[in-house]
Protein backbone atom coordinates (compact mmCIF):
# COMPACT_ATOMS: atom_id res chain seq x y z
CA UNK A 1 0.00 0.00 0.00
CA UNK A 2 2.95 2.33 0.54
CA UNK A 3 4.08 1.87 -3.10
CA UNK A 4 0.86 3.26 -4.58
CA UNK A 5 0.97 6.77 -5.93
CA UNK A 6 -2.12 8.81 -6.36
CA UNK A 7 -2.20 11.28 -9.23
CA UNK A 8 -4.65 14.10 -9.16
CA UNK A 9 -5.20 15.70 -12.57
CA UNK A 10 -4.86 19.47 -12.77
CA UNK A 11 -8.42 20.73 -13.37
CA UNK A 12 -7.23 24.22 -14.28
CA UNK A 13 -4.80 23.18 -16.98
CA UNK A 14 -2.28 25.79 -15.82
CA UNK A 15 1.16 25.18 -14.37
CA UNK A 16 1.98 28.70 -13.17
CA UNK A 17 0.35 30.65 -10.35
CA UNK A 18 0.64 33.76 -12.53
CA UNK A 19 -1.44 32.15 -15.25
CA UNK A 20 -4.07 31.07 -12.73
CA UNK A 21 -4.31 34.57 -11.25
CA UNK A 22 -4.39 36.03 -14.77
CA UNK A 23 -7.30 33.75 -15.74
CA UNK A 24 -9.21 34.70 -12.58
CA UNK A 25 -8.66 38.43 -13.15
CA UNK A 26 -9.65 38.11 -16.82
CA UNK A 27 -12.82 36.28 -15.82
CA UNK A 28 -13.71 38.99 -13.31
CA UNK A 29 -12.86 41.68 -15.87
CA UNK A 30 -15.08 40.24 -18.60
CA UNK A 31 -17.94 39.66 -16.17
CA UNK A 32 -17.64 43.20 -14.77
CA UNK A 33 -18.09 44.88 -18.17
CA UNK A 34 -21.73 43.85 -18.74
CA UNK A 35 -22.51 44.31 -15.05
CA UNK A 36 -21.13 47.86 -15.16
CA UNK A 37 -23.11 48.64 -18.30
CA UNK A 38 -26.35 47.34 -16.79
CA UNK A 39 -25.78 49.18 -13.52
CA UNK A 40 -25.02 52.49 -15.27
CA UNK A 41 -28.17 52.06 -17.33
CA UNK A 42 -30.10 51.26 -14.14
CA UNK A 43 -28.75 54.41 -12.47
CA UNK A 44 -29.72 56.43 -15.53
CA UNK A 45 -33.22 55.00 -15.43
CA UNK A 46 -33.42 55.89 -11.74
CA UNK A 47 -32.56 59.48 -12.69
CA UNK A 48 -35.28 59.49 -15.32
CA UNK A 49 -37.91 57.90 -13.09
CA UNK A 50 -37.09 60.17 -10.15
CA UNK A 51 -38.82 63.02 -12.03
CA UNK A 52 -36.89 65.58 -10.05
CA UNK A 53 -37.68 64.07 -6.64
CA UNK A 54 -34.80 65.23 -4.41
CA UNK A 55 -34.98 62.02 -2.35
CA UNK A 56 -34.46 59.70 -5.35
CA UNK A 57 -31.76 61.59 -7.25
CA UNK A 58 -28.93 60.92 -4.73
CA UNK A 59 -29.71 57.20 -4.86
CA UNK A 60 -29.39 57.18 -8.66
CA UNK A 61 -26.15 59.14 -8.46
CA UNK A 62 -24.73 56.68 -5.90
CA UNK A 63 -25.56 53.73 -8.17
CA UNK A 64 -23.59 55.27 -11.04
CA UNK A 65 -20.78 56.47 -8.78
CA UNK A 66 -20.25 53.13 -7.08
CA UNK A 67 -20.46 51.30 -10.39
CA UNK A 68 -17.71 53.45 -11.86
CA UNK A 69 -15.56 53.10 -8.73
CA UNK A 70 -16.00 49.32 -8.82
CA UNK A 71 -15.06 49.12 -12.48
CA UNK A 72 -11.97 51.25 -11.89
CA UNK A 73 -10.96 48.88 -9.08
CA UNK A 74 -11.30 45.93 -11.46
CA UNK A 75 -9.17 47.74 -14.07
CA UNK A 76 -6.54 48.56 -11.45
CA UNK A 77 -6.50 44.95 -10.26
CA UNK A 78 -5.85 43.80 -13.81
CA UNK A 79 -3.00 46.28 -14.18
CA UNK A 80 -1.50 45.52 -10.78
CA UNK A 81 -1.34 41.80 -11.61
CA UNK A 82 0.72 42.55 -14.73
CA UNK A 83 3.03 44.95 -12.89
CA UNK A 84 3.65 42.50 -10.03
CA UNK A 85 4.26 39.66 -12.48
CA UNK A 86 6.75 41.80 -14.41
CA UNK A 87 8.55 42.71 -11.19
CA UNK A 88 8.70 39.14 -9.87
CA UNK A 89 9.61 37.41 -13.13
CA UNK A 90 11.91 40.17 -14.33
CA UNK A 91 10.11 40.52 -17.64
CA UNK A 92 10.12 44.27 -17.11
CA UNK A 93 13.87 44.35 -17.75
CA UNK A 94 15.26 46.19 -20.79
CA UNK A 95 15.83 42.86 -22.55
CA UNK A 96 12.15 41.91 -22.42
CA UNK A 97 9.80 42.03 -25.38
CA UNK A 98 7.53 44.53 -23.64
CA UNK A 99 10.30 47.05 -23.18
CA UNK A 100 11.59 46.42 -26.68
CA UNK A 101 8.12 46.97 -28.13
CA UNK A 102 7.73 50.21 -26.18
CA UNK A 103 11.15 51.40 -27.32
CA UNK A 104 10.34 50.52 -30.93
CA UNK A 105 7.06 52.42 -30.70
CA UNK A 106 8.77 55.48 -29.23
CA UNK A 107 11.45 55.33 -31.93
CA UNK A 108 8.75 55.14 -34.59
CA UNK A 109 6.95 58.19 -33.23
CA UNK A 110 10.10 60.17 -32.34
CA UNK A 111 12.93 58.91 -34.54
CA UNK A 112 16.50 59.88 -33.71
CA UNK A 113 18.08 62.20 -36.21
CA UNK A 114 20.61 60.62 -38.53
CA UNK A 115 23.98 61.61 -37.12
CA UNK A 116 25.75 60.96 -40.44
CA UNK A 117 23.49 63.34 -42.32
CA UNK A 118 24.87 66.87 -42.58
CA UNK A 119 21.42 68.31 -43.30
CA UNK A 120 20.20 70.41 -40.37
CA UNK A 121 16.63 69.28 -40.95
CA UNK A 122 17.04 65.69 -39.77
CA UNK A 123 13.77 65.40 -37.89
CA UNK A 124 10.74 64.54 -40.04
CA UNK A 125 8.16 67.30 -40.13
CA UNK A 126 10.46 69.85 -38.48
CA UNK A 127 11.71 72.78 -40.51
CA UNK A 128 14.52 75.05 -39.54
CA UNK A 129 14.46 78.61 -40.80
Is residue 37 classed as helix, strand or coil in its secondary structure?
Answer: helix
Contact of 81 with 25, CB cutoff 8 Å: yes
The whole-angstrom separation of Cα 16 and Cα 30 is 21
Q: Note down pLDDT in tens along the chain; length 129 residues.
A: 567 888 888 787 777 787 888 888 889 999 999 999 999 999 999 999 988 888 889 999 999 999 999 999 999 988 888 888 778 777 644 445 555 555 565 566 666 655 554 555 555 555 555
The whole-angstrom separation of Cα 99 and Cα 91 is 9
Answering whether pTM is above 0.75, one says no
Spans of all domains in the chain: 17-97
Contact of 42 with 61, CB cutoff 8 Å: no
Amino acid sequence: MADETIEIPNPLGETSIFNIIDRIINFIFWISIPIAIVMIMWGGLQFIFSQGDPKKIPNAAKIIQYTLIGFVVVLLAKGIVYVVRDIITGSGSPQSNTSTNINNTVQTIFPNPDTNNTDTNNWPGVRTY
